């Protein structure tokens, strides 16, 4: 993969390091940053129209968002035909993170993270599939399509 897609491989490696740092670094549960975020969410949630906004909901959504690039990057690296490998990588990465968090005193493992992270990976795969479909559709109709010359081989 590194020879076929060197830039994409490096971006993926940097992304994986960032996910590792975010999910495995020491973070006290009562940190100032966490208190600030909880305060902002409480302020947003105090209005009737936004009362559904909760810390758990925001955390779940953030976990989804953090793993969307996992699906995109690995689908581009492996090709759309191997989307299931990208999904497997996302699930294995999540299980590995959750397992390691069992042994970290400032972290906790949660099955909801597995669900959120897998959902994010699937969304990322779906984004690549949608772009590939739009590209094929545009080409079959003779209209301009998404310009992705850099990753054209990855979508095959």
**Can you give the pLDDT of all 156 residues of the chain as single tens digits?**
667 789 999 999 999 999 999 999 877 655 566 778 888 888 888 888 888 888 889 999 999 999 999 999 999 999 999 999 999 999 999 999 999 999 998 888 899 999 999 999 999 999 999 999 999 888 777 655 444 444 555 555
Q: What is the pLDDT of residues 97-117, one digit of tens each?
A: 999 999 998 888 899 999 999
**Number of structural domains found in the chain:** 1
What is the span of the domain harbouring residue 124? 2-154
Distance CA 142, CA 11 (A): 33
Q: What is the pLDDT of residues 3-12, one digit of tens each?
A: 778 999 999 9
Q: Which two tokens stand for residue 117?
A: 């992270």
Number of Cβ within a 10 Å radius of residue 120: 24
Q: Which DSSP string corresponds to 30-99?
A: T-HHHHHHHHHHHHHHTSGGGTT--HHHHHHHHHHHHHHHHHHHHHHHH-GGGHHHHHHHHHHHHHHHHH
pTM of the model: 0.80
């Amino acid at each position: 993969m590194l020879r076929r897609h060197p830039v994409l491989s490096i971006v993926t490696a940097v992304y994986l390091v960032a996910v590792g740092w975010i999910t495995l670094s020491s973070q006290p549960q009562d940190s100032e940053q966490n208190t600030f975020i909880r305060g902002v969410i409480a302020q947003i949630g105090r209005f009737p129209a936004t009362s559904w906004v909760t810390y758990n909901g925001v955390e779940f959504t953030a976990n989804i968002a953090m793993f969307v690039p996992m699906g995109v990057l690995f689908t581009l690296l492996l090709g759309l035909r191997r989307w299931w490998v990208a999904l497997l990588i996302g699930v294995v990465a999540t299980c590995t993170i959750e397992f390691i968090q069992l042994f970290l005193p400032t972290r906790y493992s949660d099955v909801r993270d597995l669900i959120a992270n897998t959902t994010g990976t699937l969304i990322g795969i779906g984004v690549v599939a949608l772009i590939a479909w739009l590209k094929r559709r545009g080409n079959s109709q003779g209209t301009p399509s998404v310009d992705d010359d850099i990753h054209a081989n990855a979508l095959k």
